[in-house]
Amino acid sequence: MLGSCFMSWIFLMLLLDHFLLISCTAAISTEASAMVIDGKSIAKEIRHEITTEISRMKDEIGVIPGLAVILVGDRKDSATYVRNKKKACESVGVKSYEVCLPEDSTEEEVLKFISGFNDDPEVHGILVQLPLPSHMNEQNILNAVSIEKDVDGFHPLNIGRLAMRGREPLFVPCTPKGCIELLHRCDIDIKGKQAVVIGRSNIVGMPAALLLLREDATVSIVHSRTKNPEEITSQADIIISAVGQPNMVRGSWIKPGAVIIDVGINPVEDATSPRGYRLVGDVCYEEACKIASAVTPVPGGVGPMTIAMLLSNTLSSAKRMHNFQ
């Protein structure tokens, strides 16, 4: 009796297994199975936490964090970014200071404003919107921002500290910081994982790699000179892609179950869209959804995190300057 029951049970298990196998295969081949990492709602949660902290700081010591943004020239995209940053500041209670200078301003004029903000105790963060007009030396201008107010985290001293064990940067660049924050908030383990960063830019790829290393991931950096990117990325538990190539990372580049953080925001022509284009990431989203365990959408993934991290850096700066815990 027991034996026959056991045999039936085994049979049932085998049958179930068979069905599960079929349904799984079906999911991989035709349906999305990855968790979508909702950057928009995580960023909202972070902005809410920042609002609470700012209000507490204001109540306890009467200080309001201030962010100065310098925009030179009349690039439409830059103007949009600056407008969005200003709105974000307002939404959490950061006071924003904006300077808009004409395209033909001199480097000296920009430096004069930076110097003013460096000295202004009500300004805790200074941001120079990039790119600058081509007649300006970007390096000179960024270096002029006081390291204590470099909320963008692009100063080489900050990057150096980020690269060094036992040193702490004053600020971590916003976009890569946002990538890691997404992993943390989704309870995705980094320690001991194999991570691949695609792209080695100063503002995303390199600092992202340094951050992953600080979190004890084994890190590989893949770039335009890499001969076999697919071979390398397909071994990764975590991929952070920041290259600006629409849909470059295909399903075959991804190890089943990997986590994908897609920093790319690339416009591609789309006649069906009212604007004539739509935004896609570096990663082929539909294919990634079928093979990865978690993936950030574009838009609505890393994008909203960048501004949230800028606000977070500005708050940290104000706290540090006023020694407020």
Tell me if 134 contacts its own copies by CB under 8 A.
Answer: no
Residue 226 binds its own copies, judged by CB under 8 A: yes
* Calpha distance 210→218 (Å, rounded): 11
Structure tokens at 33: 């199975």
**Which residue of 202, 252, 270, 273 would you call a contact of its own copies, by CB under 8 A?**
202
Residue 165 touching its own copies (CB under 8 A)? yes
- Segment near its own copies (CB under 8 A); pick from 13-21, 22-30, 44-52, 191-199: 191-199
**260 CB contacts (<8 Å, ≥6 apart)?**
34, 239, 241, 249, 254, 283, 288, 292, 294, 295, 296
Give which of 116, 208, 115, 125 is closest to 170, Cα–Cα: 125
Contact 31, 290 (CB under 8 A): yes
Residue 120 annotated among the catalytic residues of the structure:
no
Residues 129, 177, 255, 262: which is the catalytic one? Answer: 129
Based on the shown chain and the rule CB under 8 A, indicate whether residue 156 belongs to the binding site for its own copies. Answer: yes
**Between the CA of residue 40 and those of 50, 77, 114, 312, what are the distances in Å?**
15, 20, 32, 16
Q: How far is the CB of 60 from its own copies (least distance, A)?
A: 32
Comparing CB distances to its own copies, the nearer of 96 and 220 is: 220
Q: Which listed range, 99-107, 115-123, 186-194, 275-283, lies at the site for its own copies (CB under 8 A)?
A: 186-194
Please report how close the Cβ of residue 238 comes to its own copies at its closest, in angstroms. Answer: 13
Asked whether 287 and 256 are in contact (CB, 8 A), the reply is no
- Active-site residue 152, yes or no? yes
Give the span between the Cα atoms of 4 and 21, in whole angstroms: 25
Is position 257 an interface residue for its own copies (rule: CB under 8 A)? Answer: no
Cβ 171 to its own copies, closest distance in Å?
Answer: 13
Site stretch for its own copies (CB under 8 A), options 49-57, 116-124, 160-168, 307-315: 160-168
By CB under 8 A, is residue 155 in contact with its own copies?
yes
* Minimum CB distance to its own copies smaller for 50 or for 206: 206
**What letter would DSSP give residue 148?**
G
Exactly one of 222, 248, 249, 263 binds its own copies (CB under 8 A); which one? Answer: 222
- Cβ 135 to its own copies shortest distance, Å: 17
129 catalytically annotated: yes
What's the min distance (Å) between Cβ of 61 and its own copies? 29
- CA distance to 90, 260, 310, per residue, from 47 (Å): 11, 23, 10
Q: Secondary structure of 233-290 in the HEC alphabet?
A: HCCCCEEEECCCCCCCECHHHCCCCCEEEECCCEEEECCCCCCCEEEECCECHHHHHH
Active site amino acids = 85, 129, 152
Q: Provide the binding-site residues for its own copies, judged by CB under 8 A.
A: 139, 155-167, 191-192, 194, 200-202, 206, 210, 213, 216-223, 225-228, 232
